[in-house]
Every structure is written in structure tokens, then in C-alpha cells.
């Protein structure tokens, strides 16, 4: 068993604009089962952050409990991180964000962590439009505790012993849109080409960006009869490819068929969606919900950027909080003196 990755790199390994190679964004060697979809998502996060690019020390990785929630140990080894309690990542991130709004928050959660124990917390983070990227690594089971059906398991999907799940699943993307999330996407760990630009777009979005990523559990949920396996997902996926074009770059890719829609982000970067045909309006929640439901009914998994609201105010704007991280405030700002105190008191009379 290898515990340490060799330090050698490809001599022609790319270096990003900040001078880092991909390997500078890696974490320690994963201890997840070999072939786990979660590891693929970690690699996609690395790829997204490497190519955006972001500086490692500007990022905070937040998580709860589960195999998925363990993964922040396996990417961005030079970033900040907090591994919290089961289902409590949203509240811890809310606190962290209030204390330091300058960091880029990447929350990693599981379908158990989000759709069961953390369901309430999840709803409130969405409602507050917390400025973060929230990724659910959705394998339809509790991987860490040996594969029990989770709340996102499809009805009829068989567990490893062959028993069919009796309950209807919670569809997290529909739920997020209904709760007022301002950026909602779905993808598949095995579709790096779509996932990486989607993560980049989510990281660029101001407000709550939610990504539901189907992520097969090779050990407990990758068998015949499972609806979250590699093979099943690849068969049923309905992917809308997209590009993320950072502000500074020219647009290079070209897709032949279908319509291309461009979505301009706050910082000037552009998301280009390549639709097979003119489906629905991703800036209209109702239209998005309909499209998702329509595909669900047909047994297809609609992936890509599903919904975006570019105008909503994120939590700090709503609360009118101080613009700088709390740790940068000095005595001067924190104890503004009698005059200010008097005026506050006067206001309360």
C-alpha cells in the first residue's frame, strides 16, 4: 500500500497563471475505496481551482461526516478546512463566512449528510443565500456506514443484498430551486468535461451555488439494479455540455449542433451552454423545475447548469455586514469612541 504519492511531476506539467502546478492543489492520498466517484469529484475540484485559478490559501473547505465529507483531506492540501459534525456543515460555514467573507467557501457533503440529518441546516443555508459552493456527492447511500439506502435513493433501486428501496427519493436540485437557491446544477463524477466548468461557474457565482453530483459508490452501490452506478448513470444521463470562459480569455470551443446560450457572470466571465435543442429558460425557476420533472418522469438524469438567478443578494449584502474580515478589524474600528456610542444610544432612545 502506498501512503505517499511520488514527488516527481511530469516535466511538462502545466503551470497556472499564479505559478502553481496541479499537484500544488492536491491533498494527501485518498483512503476511500479505489474507484469511488468522490475521488473523481476531488480531482474535478482541483482541476477547477487550478485552472480558474484561485490561490490555495484563499479557499476554505467545509464538510460534515461521511465518505464524501472526508474528501477535503484529499484535495487542496494548502487551503483552510473545517470538518464539522454530521449534517452541520451549513451552520459552521455560515459562521465562518460571517467572520471572514474574503475566503472562498467550498462545502462538500453527502446525500445522507444533506438530505437526511442535515436537511434542516441545508434549507436555511439556501434561504440565506450564503455565499458558498455547496457540493453534494450523491451516491444514493450512506457509504461510510456500509451502504444503507439514503433519502436520494430512487424508488425501486436495489441495494447490494438485492432489496428494493420502497421510498420516493428527495430530488435535491428541485428542492434547492424551490428553497430559493440562486445557482443550481447537476452533474456526474464520471463526466469531467461538464463537471469542471460547472464547478468553476459555481465558484464564480455570488451567492449560494448548489451542485448535486451523482457519484457512484463502487463498494456498496455500483451493482446491477442500482440507479446510481457508473453504467446506469452513463446510460440515463441527459447532459447539457457547457464551457466556463473566464473574463480574460477568448472563447475557443465550438459546438456544431443545437443552440448556444451565454450567461454572463458578475465578474465578467461567461458560461456557455450548448443545448441539443431549445429547451427551457435557465433563468426561470418554474421552467427549470418543469424540465427536471419531465426528465425524471422519463427516467433520464438531466445534468448541466439547471437554474441561475444572477441578481439576488447574498447573505452579507442582506445583513449589511462589515466589508472586511473580522480578523482585520483593529481597536479603532471595534471601539469607535464615545461619540459613536452616544449616537447609537441616541438612536435607541
Ligand X SMILES: Cc1ncc(C[n+]2csc(CCOP(=O)(O)OP(=O)(O)O)c2C)c(N)n1
Question: Order of strands, edge to edge, in the sheet holding 270-275?
Answer: 242-245, 270-275, 259-264
Pairing of the two strands 259-264 and 183-188: unpaired
Query: Is residue 139 near Mg ion by the rule CB under 5 A?
Result: yes
| Least distance from ligand X to the Cβ atom of residue 196, Å | 21
Contact positions vs ligand X (CB under 6 A): 65-68, 86, 110-113, 117, 137, 139, 141-145, 150
| Least distance from other proteins to the Cβ atom of residue 258, Å | 12
CB 38 within 8 A of CB 188: no
Q: For residue 48, what are the CA distances in angstroms to 204, 227, 334?
A: 11, 27, 38
Q: Given the rule CB under 8 A, which of 26-34, 106-114, 286-294, 322-330 is the region that contacts other proteins?
A: 26-34
By beta-carbon proximity to ligand X, the closer residue of 145 and 328 is: 145
Could you write out the DSSP letters of every residue in 263-298? EE-TTS-EEEEEESS----TT-HHHHHHHHHHHHHT
Query: Is residue 97 near other proteins by the rule CB under 8 A?
Result: no
By beta-carbon proximity to ligand X, the closer residue of 141 and 301 is: 141
Query: Is residue 110 near Mg ion by the rule CB under 5 A?
Result: yes
How many Å apart are CA 146 and CA 165, to the nearest integer? 16
Of 136-175, binders to other proteins (CB under 8 A) are none
Q: Which of 62, 106, 196, 292 binds other proteins (CB under 8 A)?
A: 196
Q: Apex CA 48: angle with CA 262 and CA 36, to 5°?
A: 120
Q: Total number of residues binding other proteins (CB under 8 A)?
A: 47
How many Å apart are CA 234 and CA 316, to the nearest integer? 39
Q: Apex CA 111: angle with CA 106 and CA 114, to 5°?
A: 65
Site string for other proteins, 216-255 (x = CB under 8 A): x-x---x-------xx--xx-x-x-x--------------
| Least distance from Mg ion to the Cβ atom of residue 227, Å | 14
Residue ranges of alpha helices (H) inside the chain are 37-51, 67-70, 89-99, 111-115, 119-127, 172-179, 192-204, 230-236, 285-297, 315-319, 331-334, 338-348
Q: Which of 27, 36, 69, 154 binds other proteins (CB under 8 A)?
A: 36
| Least distance from ligand X to the Cβ atom of residue 65, Å | 4
CB 74 within 8 A of CB 30: yes
Query: Is residue 270 near other proteins by the rule CB under 8 A?
Result: no
Q: For residue 333, what are the CA distances in angstroms to 75, 320, 327, 330, 337?
A: 37, 16, 11, 6, 9
| Least distance from ligand X to the Cβ atom of residue 145, Å | 5
Q: Which of 88, 192, 295, 310 binds other proteins (CB under 8 A)?
A: 192
By beta-carbon proximity to ligand X, the closer residue of 141 and 273 is: 141
Query: Is residue 14 near other proteins by the rule CB under 8 A?
Result: yes
Short-list 177, 193, 202, CA closest to 263: 202
Residues that bind other proteins (CB under 8 A): 1-2, 4-14, 22-23, 29-30, 33-37, 39-40, 42-43, 47, 51, 188-194, 196, 216, 218, 222, 230-231, 234-235, 237, 239, 241, 303
Residues that bind Mg ion (CB under 5 A): 110-112, 139, 143
Amino acid at each position: 500500500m502506498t501512503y505517499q504519492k511520488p514527488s516527481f511531476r511530469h516535466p511538462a506539467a502545466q503551470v497556472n497563471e499564479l505559478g502553481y502546478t496541479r499537484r500544488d492543489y492536491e491533498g494527501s492520498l485518498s483512503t476511500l475505496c479505489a474507484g469511488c466517484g468522490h475521488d473523481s469529484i476531488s480531482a474535478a475540484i482541483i482541476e477547477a481551482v487550478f485552472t480558474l485559478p484561485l490561490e490555495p490559501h484563499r479557499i476554505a473547505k467545509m464538510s460534515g461526516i461521511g465518505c464524501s465529507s472526508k474528501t477535503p483531506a484529499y484535495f487542496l492540501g494548502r487551503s483552510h478546512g473545517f470538518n464539522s459534525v454530521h449534517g452541520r456543515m451549513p451552520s459552521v460555514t455560515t459562521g465562518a463566512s460571517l467572520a471572514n467573507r474574503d475566503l472562498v467557501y467550498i462545502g462538500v457533503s453527502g446525500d445522507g449528510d444533506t438530505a437526511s440529518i442535515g436537511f434542516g441546516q441545508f434549507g436555511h443555508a439556501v434561504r440565506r443565500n450564503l455565499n458558498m459552493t455547496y457540493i453534494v456527492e450523491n451516491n444514493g447511500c450512506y457509504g461510510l456506514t456500509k451502504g444503507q439506502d439514503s433519502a436520494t435513493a430512487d424508488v425501486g433501486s436495489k441495494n447490494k443484498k438485492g432489496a428494493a428501496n420502497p421510498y420516493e427519493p428527495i430530488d435535491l436540485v428541485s428542492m434547492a430551486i424551490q428553497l430559493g437557491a440562486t445557482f443550481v446544477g447537476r452533474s456526474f463524477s464520471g463526466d469531467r468535461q461538464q463537471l469542471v466548468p460547472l464547478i468553476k461557474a459555481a465558484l464564480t457565482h455570488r451567492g449560494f451555488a448548489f451542485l448535486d453530483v451523482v457519484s457512484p459508490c463502487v463498494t456498496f452501490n455500483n451493482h446491477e439494479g442500482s440507479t446510481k452506478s457508473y453504467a446506469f448513470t452513463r446510460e440515463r444521463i441527459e447532459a447539457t455540455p457547457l464551457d466556463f470562459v473566464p473574463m480574460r480569455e477568448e472563447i475557443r470551443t465550438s459546438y456544431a449542433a443545437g443552440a448556444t446560450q451565454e450567461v454572463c457572470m458578475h465578474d465578467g466571465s461567461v458560461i456557455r451552454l450548448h443545448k441539443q435543442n431549445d429547451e427551457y429558460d435557465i433563468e426561470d425557476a418554474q421552467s427549470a423545475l418543469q424540465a427536471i420533472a419531465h426528465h425524471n418522469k422519463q427516467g433520464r438524469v438531466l445534468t448541466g447548469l439547471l437554474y441561475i438567478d444572477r441578481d439576488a443578494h447574498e447573505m452579507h449584502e442582506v445583513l449589511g455586514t462589515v466589508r472586511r474580515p473580522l480578523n482585520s478589524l483593529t481597536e479603532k474600528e471595534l471601539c469607535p469612541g464615545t461619540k459613536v456610542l452616544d449616537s447609537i444610544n441616541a438612536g435607541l432612545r
